[in-house]
Amino acid sequence: MQPVSRAPTALVAYALLALTCLAWGSTWLVIKWGIHDLPPLTAAALRFLVAGGVMAALAPWLVPREGGGRPPWSVVIVQAVCQFTLNYALVYYSETVLPSGLVSVLWSVFPLLVALGGHFVTKAERLHARQWLGGLLAFGGVALLFLTDVAHISRDAIAWGLLVLLAPTAVTVSTLLIKQRAAGASSILINRDSMLIGSALLFVLAFAFERDQPRTFSPAALGSIAYLALVGSVFTFGVYMWLLRHLSAYLLSLTSFVTPVLALSFGALVGGELLTLHTLAGAALVLMGVALTLKAARPLTARRARSLA
């Protein structure tokens, strides 16, 4: 097994986290732009075909510099199915009905699900009273969003809102598995292989369900695929998976806390999506609940970062 690369300094870690949050915060609206002209599964499949291809081209140069060994194929398959197939199929299709910012807020229960998984499944981290209170607050926020914003859209929107909650559930499964079985594996190899397999699975689903739907490869559609592949996938997943091996779960979970705030802002300011008091109240409850769920962590100082290497 190749040696694991040295942990980043505090400055580098925080800068990469900030850029990752900014990139992921923008992707929700860019997804919506792309599926105006392309069917959802087709758009997602093309995104990860491009992203996986770029990762494959960069792998010979990046893997030796990153460090880490080859991930088990069982982990790669689960990551491909849960993260890149099921998760994104649900997210892309839900955005044909729901506003992009709202989808991001519903998805932001991910840290809560990881915490529940750590308590009930892996039993690695037990939840305390503060985390349980956070879960109740987040659940109340989700319920408020369903009773107001989601219900006011259509009956189909309620069904898609419920399905959106399956997306972070699927990613929770792959995240816990990676932490258990592939913590020292190369993030480049995990992402390269799982993106390409996920893309193939999405193409199969697109052929089954979208082969009769019109496809227009407009500049907006092509630009969406390029941005989501390069910025929203190659950069973000590469950085996230690399930091996953070096930083605490607390620091990484901040991406799910900040991203929905940015997504709501992009959706309202750039995408013209409506922000109501119900939206803000529901989002605030969800994010407050997530904040309470997160376990406190010591600041990542340069000395401590070096000690993690």
Q: How crowded is residue 171: how many other Cβ atoms within 10 Å of its Cβ?
A: 22
The structure's pTM equals 0.87
Phi, psi of 185 (to 5 degrees): -85, 160
Q: Return the domain boundaries, the chain.
A: 36-307
What is the rounded distance in angstroms from the CA atom of residue 147 to the CA atom of residue 94? 17
Return the pLDDT at 46.
98
Return the pLDDT at 301.
41
> Which tokens in the block code for residue 166?
């399956």
Return the pLDDT at 293.
79
Return the pLDDT at 174.
94
Q: Per-residue pLDDT for the chain (309 aa), expressed as one digit of tens each?
A: 444 556 667 788 888 888 999 999 999 999 999 999 999 999 999 999 999 999 999 999 988 887 789 999 999 999 999 999 999 999 999 999 999 999 999 999 988 888 888 888 877 778 888 889 999 999 999 999 999 999 999 988 999 999 999 999 999 999 899 888 998 888 889 999 999 999 999 999 999 999 999 999 999 999 999 999 999 999 998 788 678 767 766 567 677 778 999 999 999 999 999 999 999 999 999 999 988 877 644 444 433 333 333
Q: Which of 259, 262, 282 is nearest to 270 (CA)?
A: 262
